[in-house]
Amino acid sequence: MTHYGLDAREWRTLEDEVLALFTLILRVDTTNPPGGETACALVLKDYLAANGITAELVGELPQRQNLVARVKGTRPGPTLVLMGHMDVVPADEKEWSVPPFDGVVKDGYVWGCGATDMKNQVAAEAVAIARLARAGADFGGEVVYIASVDEEVGTHCGVRWLCEHRPD
């Protein structure tokens, strides 16, 4: 049986890679306010670097840096942006059955603040771009990966800042 062109072993390896990165970034408290996404961005930057991708941290505030990485194709073509945000809403630990920043896998689910909004997608997209880079795929254009900050409050540091200061 195949899943999206991957055999069962390849699919499980991909799931394991996403889960490892996902639970790792869930353990970083990126509650907004006050923010603190740079710590999460550094985890992602290290992961991407281990996969041959250079990423940069950009932003207005040192503790609230967006991560941007690019994988260029072998020929001209369109740009595809994969983007998600790292910040999460406040979590009252008393309301959780597991600590909100432990990134726990329990009863077949991943538990943590940001698990469904949206560190799941941030991790999956990072693995997707890493897999693309590792494969040396022949494609046209460029894939840009952005892990942004400040989506939950949206005042100035995230996508708004990127659009104003780094429209590229």
> Cis peptide before 83, with omega less than 30 degrees from 0?
no
pLDDT, block means (10 residues), the chain with 168 residues: 88 97 98 92 98 97 96 97 97 96 96 97 98 95 97 89 94
Nearest in space to 63 (alpha carbons), one of 28, 93, 27, 26: 28
What local confidence, expressed as pLDDT, does residue 142 receive? Answer: 97
Residue 161 three-state SS: helix
Find out whether 118 and 55 touch, Cβ atoms under 8 Å: no
What local confidence, expressed as pLDDT, does residue 69 receive? Answer: 98
b/e 57-69 (16+ beta carbons within 10 angstroms → b): bebbeeebbbbbb
CA atoms of 78 and 80, how far apart (whole Å)? 7
CA atoms of 47 and 127, how far apart (whole Å)? 9
Q: Which residues pair with 56 in a beta bridge?
A: 68
What does DSSP say about strands 75-85 and 2-3: parallel, antiparallel, or unpaired? unpaired
Residues 6+ apart with CB under 8 A from 4: 11
What local confidence, expressed as pLDDT, does residue 72 receive? Answer: 96
What local confidence, expressed as pLDDT, does residue 135 receive? Answer: 94
- Please report how many Cα atoms fall inside a 13 Å half-sphere around the Cα of residue 164, on the Cβ side: 8
CA atoms of 31 and 136, how far apart (whole Å)? 36
Location of structure tokens 């040192």: 62
Give me the active site residues, please.
Answer: 87, 151
Rounded to two decimals, what is the model's pTM? 0.96
